[in-house]
Chains A and B, each alone.
Chain A
Amino acid sequence: MEILFFVLGIITLIAALLVALQRNVRHAALFLAISCLGVAGLLYLLQAPVVATTQLVVYGVGIAALIRFSPRPLRQMTRPDALGPAPRWWGAALVAVALGGILIWGALAYPGASGAATDAHTDFILPLIVGVILLPLAMTAAVRIGGRR
């Protein structure tokens, strides 16, 4: 089974790195979708099918569809980006590597981390409620901020 982890992990990671480095915005969106699909696969591996399916549908299909069927302003914005990373890229890389390193060190130093054993009787309705309240608000806000024609 671990081969599946490695394959999915490498796909996810490489796709993420490509998002970080790729200049063409549309390609970056594609790689983002691939990375999200990879994470969805990993979540299946972790035996959390509901989260994995949500991840799959919401991210993998949703974001890809969003970029693909986007209205005109979005399409104009996502034309191939001729600019490279900003001059501060080395600082960003430094910080990213450093923080990532701290996280990795933490992961290695506390291997059998036990999750917080809460006793709360939650169920899946809760995120659904959050979604039903939050998503329409967010969409309305996005439409209002983006401006109507």
Chain B
Amino acid sequence: MTPALSWYLILGALLFSAGLYTVLARRNGVIALMGIVLILNSVTLNLVAFWRYAESASFDGQVFAMAVIVITIAQVAVGLGLIVALWRRYSTAVLDEADALKE
């Protein structure tokens, strides 16, 4: 039996959870960025899964997914630049220590 759509969606949901946890609960900024990548991976997976099971004649789902991938890598580049700037300013990559907004 071929995998059903819901299997892919569930896998995507689980990846999403793992990514969300990583973003919220990990202290190192670089790892938090990885969490975002995981979340966007799950988005890609969902997009392509829906496209495949919808049997449309055009490439819409794939195009959207590729745009997501491209935007993700751009975001990772900028995010890493931010972390480097953080590092230069505060000598740390731990996000919790960048609390200058604290009241």
Q: Is the interface of B mostly helix, strand, loop or mixed?
A: helix
B66/A124 in contact, CB under 8 A: yes
Q: Interface size bucket, A side? A: 35 or more
Q: Is the interface of A mostly helix, strand, loop or mixed?
A: helix
B25/A130 in contact, CB under 8 A: no
Considering only residues 31-61 of chain B, those with a C-beta below 8 Å from chain A are 31, 34-35, 37-38, 41, 44-45, 48-54, 56, 58-61
* Cβ–Cβ < 8 Å partners of A1 in chain B: 2-3
Interchain residue pairs with CB less than 8 A apart (24): A5-B7, A20-B26, A25-B28, A25-B31, A39-B45, A42-B8, A43-B65, A48-B51, A50-B66, A51-B48, A73-B87, A77-B83, A96-B20, A100-B13, A104-B14, A111-B6, A117-B56, A130-B70, A138-B75, A141-B78, A142-B78, A146-B81, A146-B84, A147-B88
Query: Which residues on A are within 8 Å of B, measured CB to CB?
Result: 1-2, 5, 9, 12-13, 16-17, 19-20, 25, 28-29, 32, 35-36, 39, 42-43, 45-48, 50-51, 54-55, 58-59, 62-63, 66, 73-74, 76-78, 81, 83-86, 88-89, 91-93, 95-97, 99-100, 103-104, 106-108, 111-115, 117-118, 120-124, 126-127, 130-131, 134-135, 137-139, 141-147
Give the top 7 A-B pairs by smallest Cβ distance, nearest first.
A115-B54, A100-B17, A142-B81, A92-B24, A107-B9, A138-B74, A103-B13
* Apart from A50-B62, A85-B25: 20 A-B pairs, beta carbons within 8 A: A16-B14, A47-B52, A55-B44, A58-B70, A59-B37, A63-B73, A74-B30, A77-B28, A93-B25, A100-B17, A100-B20, A104-B13, A107-B12, A112-B53, A120-B60, A130-B71, A135-B77, A138-B73, A138-B78, A141-B81
